[in-house]
Structure 1
Amino acid sequence: MSHLSQRPDDAVVGLPLPHESADLHVTGHALYTDDLVQRTPRVLHAHPVCSPHAHATVTRLDVTPALDVDGVVRVLTADDVPGINDAGVKHDEPLFPSEVMFVGHAVCWVLGETLEAARLGAEAVQVDYDPLPAVVSLTEAIAAESFQGARPVVERGDVDAALAGAAHVFEGTTEMAGQEHFYLETHASLALVDEGGQVFVQSSTQHPTETQEIVAHVLGVASHAVTVQCLRMGGGFGGKEMQPHGFAAVAALGATITGRPVRLRLDRTHDMTMTGKRHGFHATWRVGFDDDGLLVGLDTTLTSDGGWSLDLSEPVLARALCHVDNAYWIPHVRARGRVARTHKTSQTAFRGFGGPQGMLVIEDVLGRCAPLLGVDPVDLRRRNFYAEGQATPYGQPVRHPDRVVAAWEQVLASGDVVRRQAEVEAFNDSHPHRRRGLALTPVKFGISFNFTAFNQGGALVHVYKDGSVLINHGGTEMGQGLHTKMLQVAATSLGVPLERVRLAPTRTDKVPNTSATAASSSTDLNGGAVKDACEQILARLREVDGGRGLAWDDLVREAYFSRVQLWAAGFYRTEGLHWDPVAMQGHPFKYFAYGVAATEVEVDGFTGSYTTRRVDIVHDVGDSLSPLVDLGQVEGGFVQGLGWLTLEDLRWDETDGPGRGRLTTQAASTYKLPSLSELPDELHVALLDQAHEEGAVYGSKAVGEPPLMLALSVREALRQAAAAFGPAGTSVELASPATPEAVYWALDRARRTAPAPTELAEV
């Protein structure tokens, strides 16, 4: 067993502890970025002037009327930028644009003594536009060949020959919508300049280092002149990985010019209309099976809706291509990818980071093809699982495929699936206007950043003379429990009680050059770094102790008086990774996280409305560092996935009128989020036993993103329930999200159409 993954007998990791700030969250005492405004005197408030056009040239910008509004102090424009007028790491996102690229694009920002003054000032700014043609939908972009960025291909074997020789070949199209992050805390930044000229930015950001770098290059200063702190976030889900940087830069620019602190916080409507979403995808595919129902070949093209700039679209697409196999062995594969350019918000990271979109493609293929092959979908999925010794289409061996089998068998048993399948069949035979469906789907999700260089983490650990411990690491807390796990790792590593350890907010002047808190890797990276720092300190303390067995406080005191260093900077990098982004081949992931979900639904044949009756989940988190935190992540991830696949329906105005390109679902009143009424009547979650992960911090595995894909079982259950309204062998095409309306039209087609849909006819 490796030193990194070995646990002592008295470990604090593994204990079911509550979130370290749980009491602050529920009592309202937890402070977030915008709460700090109340503690900062003379703050100015920023408000955007947003474009009403999806695509237009700014022909005139007159800010003088705003300056006549009482309380307006300054209007920030491109002329004020001392450095680079760009907020994107690809240098394709002008901070103050002369060509607006989506409805809501901010052309300037008004600073006022109050938010209301800034808002009135923004209304007074006069802007003339010359409207230009706008590409709004993904299908429009494909037809117009409006693409951006690289076009990667993952390929193995001879797909054309495999499909030509396959016993059964089918083809189809799969489309899926994006998703709004809808974090509770909207984007917020608070910037000030201290007496030494340092720009200090409090930001709700998942990537403080990148926020620091963008602020620095907008201001035209070195990174050491900018410090970014993230106290905590009220949710992120990927939406605060890349998108906070421009807002932080606006606040920092305002503070630099006026000499006063500047606060920028988006209201909910601005947040929804100005920031990116999960990428919607369009996929075409041809798939071949042999007479035993085994996959022999898949040829697919995935097109993502990138919006107006690249943002993170290229790595999102790469991860989608690397997950189009999910848990299934496909001997011959060709998966092409491309990013569409549309005149919408620049779509960005979202929990799963392309993995869910790629996995939905293969699950849609299997769900639609199973009835045409005359095979139960549960059996079709199980017989195509990876086996030991097989590798992914991009060349990475699949380690521990037995774990997805173990999770599958455990769900079958604990969920009493065989008996319930018979009950579902009996119910459907006796209820002409209601149908039930029961589906199982697996998850195999790769853990690590696609970009190898990001797989590093840092930490700073102090032991004070009284034996108390302070830790600081490069990860950010957004409610996911990272800080809780880091406290447990530090206490376990040092062998001290948890109450002796405190954690400081994430700051770029304490731990530099950090990676984003993303890719489900933050516990692995920062936990490894915290452990490394603690072990450096322990090694020094052992020399002081000399085998005497001194108590902790006595040992620390003696070490201090012996002039022994009681602090350490820790570092961790994930070993064994290599990736060629051009060839799309290599070993990009440290390991795979596995899971299985079984979902039972009931559908009303008159309306398409449905209830989720029961969900059984078994998920692989390795040796859990913090079981309560991990269970919460599994449950929350599943529910967020359920929202993406069944409820959350982003809509943009695609008409040719003046509202073209406007997000029409820009509030909770028009954008449906999961609520208590959508939760399963029964939700059973278990963590997979005997799942130790060698070479990971204390044998644990990532848990943030993989559970989201467990919700694919809900969509597949809805498909089976809709198909049950038709004759045996009916193949159902189901829209995503599978809203009640979409389910109704699917079941209505099943009722009215005896043969399989023509678009899925065997070719």
Structure 2
Amino acid sequence: MSAHDPAVHRSTPHESAARHVTGSAPYIDDLPEPKGLLHLAFGLADRAHARIVSLDLDAVRAAPGVVLVLTAADMPPDADLSPVHAHDEPILAGETVEFHGHPIFIVAAETRDAARRAARLGKVAYEDLPAAIDIEAARQTGRMVTAPMVLARGEAAPAIAAAPHVIEGRVVVGGQEHFYLESQIAMAIPGEADEVRVYSSTQHPSEIQHMVAHVLHLPLHAVTVEMRRMGGGFGGKETSGNIFAVVAALVATRTGRPAKFRPDRDDDMVVTGKRHDFAVDYKVGFDDAGVVLGIEGTFAARCGYSADLSGPITDRALFHADNTYYYPAVRFNSLPLKTNTVSNVAFRGFGGPQGVVMAERVMDEIAYHLGLDPLEVRKRNLYGHDTRNVTPYHQVVEDNVAPALIAALEERSDYGARRAAIRAANAKNPVIRRGIAITPVKFGISFTATHYNQAGALVHVYTDGSVMLNHGGTEMGQGLHVKVAQVVAAEFGLDVSAVRITATDTSKVPNTSATAASSGSDLNGMAAQAAARQIRERLTAFAAERWQVSADQVRFAAGMVQIGAESLSFAEFARRAYGARIQLSASGFYKTPKIHWDRASGKGKPFYYYAYGAACSEVAVDTLTGEYRVLRVDILHDVGKSLNPAIDIGQIEGGFIQGMGWLTTEELWWDGRGRLRTHAPSTYKIPACGDRPLHFEVALFDNENAEPTVFRSKAVGEPPFMLGFSVLHALSDAVASVADYRLCPRLDAPATPERVLAALEALQARAIP
């Protein structure tokens, strides 16, 4: 690294990349198993909603290798796993099961195989109760897991009624399985006195600590949670890991033996929550130019049997129902519906994508109704700079780069010429129809629960010049650790190889927030920077006094410390500082400024800033079968001044593909009895290598963050997910060609080949008159 080449803004490899490739990166199931380790399994309910009439577990207890069997009657008083303190998530079903797969009892055995086999021997008699499996059935019951929210600005109903054109419709979007490569897993090891150490594959170590302490009636200082790395999370390990960690800790403390819980993949998919599926009813009024005058929307979500995070998730759907578009008069309301299915949880985007789905459908509706290019309609409705810049939640959009970014992508992708060529080709080919679409994204960055917008970090400098870093964020493959290490290295003028990151540990950095809401680098990077700067300021003051120079004559760069005319290696300088009794350790803290939110009034500034992006996708559809290929994708995305361009581009590519999968191939299906039938890789289709775009180009938009974030970077975890909408709307464009682009296809997601074929046939039937 040269003196003019800081550790940040460089494409530095992921800190565990080599270990990932060679298979030497240890995950929890790779750790040496302690002596006497017990393995756990659940006995699961075979009904969607029923009373438990009788429970016979004699065969379970008598099974080979079984050491302990626990039921709801054996749980500690008030043991509940609700992350929002709704007291609606008991560890085990007691008198009533609420969904098919609801855990009823726990088996602890000498081996994992013994535990799983014994768990299948339980005999349960049920009295069936009415079950609401889907959104429509839940709407009939009117039951909700939490209070709904309303966002409103202006008078939407009169504005719609007075508009020259009015359209009503419904868009339905399915759920999504997280499909992390590493399943849920936890291992608990009892310590001396009442202490317990928990290894958990979790995005939220402090919540695991709180849950274990709550259930075991322990003070927080008795519970330590450690998490070195996850094999993927995507939100599925923000709250879903609670039950596995708590049960492992409970068994460990009851038996005095270590306990590990790694569920089978099928059980993992049945027991843990998914992305919420939504049915959104909308009504929009617009003028002859396609500009929205007023809009209303009702966002009904299948939430499952308990609240979990459904409240903030359905809230965020409303926050992002504007996407990049200005609505002069607007009213949105949420319906977080209770269903007899597993409780849905956080998923990348946290409800934001389900809000964007309505915004993009409305733009298509307007375009086809007026015979306009959908991109032109989108551009006419974009937020402005000095006017038309207030969101439905009354936050002013101050950093709007969407118009410039879309214009740049339009030029880079040669959208206009390609769209004309596609129209000409479609007119000549009755079977293979192509489609093209550009869709944008504006995504708010911050937790809407304001108190989560804080982070801590711990930095040590050793006398050989090496640096140890610990922070409250978790590494799930996204590259958070290397980014935070780059920040610390930059502060000391070191190469990133000089900084070692240790496992996230609640005994080192307490009271952490979840690694979620795309905030990992923003929060933890700033906290680590604050810690490093404290040490650097002490070192600078020491150098200035010892060498009798001014502070501005002390510079840290390229592994050296320049003090006036003298130059020392960082290691030698650290040794001298230690000899002078300079403290070489510091804890740092950061809280996001400027944000506030009042849910009751639906007003505030919930987001510190916005991240923007746009994607242009081209597809080819076989009108005889509904099958399709994604031919080309061009993406231009705003990550501010990138901390690590290679990591950010990887996140954009992965987010896009995951979003595309949600909108095209990934279909969750429950049967009439409430059984999840897509519960394994054999029945649930995530995008594979053959599904990737044949031409795939990603570029970073040159845009320094207007807010003073860590080195002026922007979040990159969630926003790229919504770039996948360009594929859905390119498919819609191809389908619309069979009706001469005069009708909106209203293609719902996931747009599987079967659904595309049905949309083609329905559109052809509508177009015949």
Q: Distance in 2 between matches of 1:252 and 1:92?
A: 21
Q: Distance in 2 between matches of 1:181 and 1:594?
A: 24
2:571 corresponds to which residue? Answer: 553
1:643 corresponds to which residue? Answer: 661
Q: 1:735, CA displacement in angstroms?
A: 1.8
- Structure 2 residue 104 is matched with structure 1 residue 107: yes
Q: Distance in 1 between matches of 2:36 and 2:604?
A: 54
Structure 1 ranges of 4+ moved more than 6 A: none
Any idea what SS the aligned residue of 2:469 has? strand
Any idea what SS the aligned residue of 1:724 has? helix
Describe how 1:164-563 pairs up with structure 2 within 5 A: 164-389=161-386, 390-401=389-400, 403-546=401-544, 547=549, 548=563, 550-563=568-581
1:157-212 CA distance string (max 9 Å, x none):
01111012111111011111100000000100000111343110000000000010
Any idea what SS the aligned residue of 2:460 has? strand
Q: 1:330, CA displacement in angstroms?
A: 0.6
Is contact 1:537-1:567 (8 Å) kept?
A: yes
1:761 corresponds to which residue? Answer: none
Q: Distance in 2 between matches of 1:739 and 1:26?
A: 33
Is contact 1:163-1:287 (8 Å) kept?
A: yes
Aligned residues: 742
Any idea what SS the aligned residue of 1:395 has? coil
Q: Distance in 1 between matches of 2:109 and 2:691?
A: 42
Is contact 1:458-1:530 (8 Å) kept?
A: yes
Q: 1:94, CA displacement in angstroms?
A: 0.4
1:502-558 CA distance string (max 9 Å, x none):
000001001000000000001000000000000011111111111335432232112
Structure 1 125/419 Cα, relative in aligned 2: closer, same or farther at 3 Å? same
Q: 1:355, CA displacement in angstroms?
A: 0.4
1:390-428 CA distance string (max 9 Å, x none):
111111111222x21222112111111111112101110
Q: Distance in 1 between matches of 2:112 and 2:269?
A: 19
1:616-637 CA distance string (max 9 Å, x none):
1000000000111000000000
Any idea what SS the aligned residue of 1:725 has? helix
Q: 1:481, CA displacement in angstroms?
A: 0.4
2:676 corresponds to which residue? Answer: 663
Is contact 1:732-1:750 (8 Å) kept?
A: yes
2:554 corresponds to which residue? Answer: none
Q: Distance in 1 between matches of 2:362 and 2:196?
A: 52
1:737 corresponds to which residue? Answer: 750
Any idea what SS the aligned residue of 1:753 has? helix
Q: Distance in 2 between matches of 1:324 and 1:195?
A: 52
2:22 corresponds to which residue? Answer: 27
Q: Distance in 1 between matches of 2:76 and 2:97?
A: 21
Is contact 2:638-2:703 (8 Å) kept?
A: no
Deviates more, 1:85-94 or 1:570-579: 85-94
Task: Give unpaired runs (5+ residues) of structure 1.
Answer: 1-7, 655-659, 757-763
- Structure 2 residue 49 is matched with structure 1 residue 55: yes
1:93 corresponds to which residue? Answer: 89
- Structure 2 residue 713 is matched with structure 1 residue 700: yes
1:628 corresponds to which residue? Answer: 646
How big is the alpha-carbon RMSD for the aligned residues of Structure 1 and Structure 2?
Answer: 1.3
Q: 1:126, CA displacement in angstroms?
A: 2.9
Is contact 1:544-1:558 (8 Å) kept?
A: no
1:544-585 CA distance string (max 9 Å, x none):
111335432232112212222110110000000010011121
Q: 1:702, CA displacement in angstroms?
A: 0.2
Is contact 1:255-1:261 (8 Å) kept?
A: yes
1:415-472 CA distance string (max 9 Å, x none):
1111111210111011011111110100000000010000000000011122110000
Q: Distance in 2 between matches of 1:748 and 1:82?
A: 57
2:593 corresponds to which residue? Answer: 575
Is contact 2:50-2:128 (8 Å) kept?
A: yes
1:144 corresponds to which residue? Answer: 141
Letter in 1 for 2:164: A
Q: 1:742, CA displacement in angstroms?
A: 0.7
Q: Distance in 1 between matches of 2:131 and 2:46?
A: 13
Give the counterpart of 2:126 among 124, 129, 135: 129
Letter in 2 for 1:74: L
Q: Distance in 2 between matches of 1:690 and 1:82?
A: 53
Any idea what SS the aligned residue of 1:745 has? helix
1:590-613 CA distance string (max 9 Å, x none):
100000100111100100100111
Structure 1 329/479 Cα, relative in aligned 2: closer, same or farther at 3 Å? same
Q: TM-score, normalised by structure 2?
A: 0.95
Q: TM-score, normalised by structure 1?
A: 0.96
Letter in 1 for 2:681: A
Deviates more, 1:525-534 or 1:683-692: 683-692
1:40-69 CA distance string (max 9 Å, x none):
222110011000001112232333332222
- Structure 2 residue 680 is matched with structure 1 residue 680: no
Deviates more, 1:620-629 or 1:372-381: 372-381
Any idea what SS the aligned residue of 2:304 has? coil
Is contact 1:730-1:755 (8 Å) kept?
A: no
Deviates more, 1:339-348 or 1:77-86: 77-86
Q: Distance in 2 between matches of 1:731 and 1:488?
A: 48
Q: Distance in 1 between matches of 2:109 and 2:145?
A: 38
Is contact 1:605-1:744 (8 Å) kept?
A: yes
Letter in 1 for 2:458: L
Q: Distance in 1 between matches of 2:481 and 2:699?
A: 23
Deviates more, 1:729-738 or 1:502-511: 729-738
Any idea what SS the aligned residue of 2:295 has? strand
1:264-321 CA distance string (max 9 Å, x none):
0011100110000000011111101012211111011111111010000000011100
Letter in 2 for 1:255: A
Q: 1:755, CA displacement in angstroms?
A: 7.1
Q: 1:674, CA displacement in angstroms?
A: 0.3
1:749 corresponds to which residue? Answer: 762
Q: Distance in 1 between matches of 2:337 and 2:308?
A: 12
Give the counterpart of 2:13 among 15, 18, 32: 18
Is contact 2:184-2:241 (8 Å) kept?
A: yes
Is contact 1:730-1:750 (8 Å) kept?
A: yes
Q: Distance in 2 between matches of 1:363 and 1:393?
A: 16
Any idea what SS the aligned residue of 2:767 has? coil
Letter in 2 for 1:524: D
Q: Distance in 1 between matches of 2:704 and 2:588?
A: 27
Is contact 1:411-1:598 (8 Å) kept?
A: yes
Any idea what SS the aligned residue of 1:730 has? coil
Is contact 2:79-2:90 (8 Å) kept?
A: yes
Q: Distance in 2 between matches of 1:261 and 1:231?
A: 19
Is contact 2:626-2:753 (8 Å) kept?
A: yes
- Structure 2 residue 67 is matched with structure 1 residue 64: no
